Amino acid sequence: MLAALAFAASRFIVTPRAEQAPLFVVPRGIVVLLALLAAITFLTEGAILDWGALLLAGKGLLAPDQAGLGYSVFAIAMTAGRLTGDRVVARIGDRQTMFWGGLLALMGYGIMLLAPVAVVAMLGLMLIGLGASNTVPVLFRQAGAQNAMPPELAVASITTVGYAGILAGPAAIGFVAGHTGLTAAFWMLAALLCLVPLCARAAVAKASA
């Protein structure tokens, strides 16, 4: 009896064939802008993780064995921002969250790079973490709302490009720092971060259209 059932199942029960997803999806339309902003934001996190301690120690703000404290402050602030992000977005919306978050992160970069003492630099790192914390979640949400390409492929492409920023970005910063100095490399990163508030209106409006 069991053998007959097994034979019937193999002959007459049709199982859907899973579609093979592409290994890499090239972003299209507004997704290109969303992916670029995600890469810049991820690059910010990667730079502070890999180079933040060296920057603080090189500026004489912290001893080498204490310089890792800077990333701890940044990470705690980013975690706090993510945990409260839903309430912030519900109150002011995606566009304002990106705009003011980008400005807050830029202010943090300026404070960190111009800080005369360690406490002021820590304040800058805290502002960077808070400001950048909700940019990527907003970008993913906008990727799911756009019509330029299927939402699941848009999210996949943004994830790929974003993590390319966090992986390749610190190496690029090291290359630039070897020619211009680490402080100048961080100023260049701050200049890139200007794109987040500047493009907030276009990214949210076009993705939601």
**What is the per-residue pLDDT across 172-192, written as a single tens digit (0 to 9) for each?**
888 998 899 999 999 999 999
In angstroms, the CA 129 to CA 149 distance is 31
**How do residues 50-70 score in pLDDT, each as one tens digit?**
899 999 999 999 998 898 899
Note the pTM of the prediction, 2 decimals.
Answer: 0.83
Confidence band, pLDDT 50/70/90 cuts, at residue 198 = very high
Backbone angles phi, psi at 181, to 5 degrees: 100, 155
CATH architecture, range 43-208: Up-down Bundle (1.20)
Cα 136 from chain centre: 5
In angstroms, the CA 110 to CA 127 distance is 10
Cα 55 from chain centre: 21
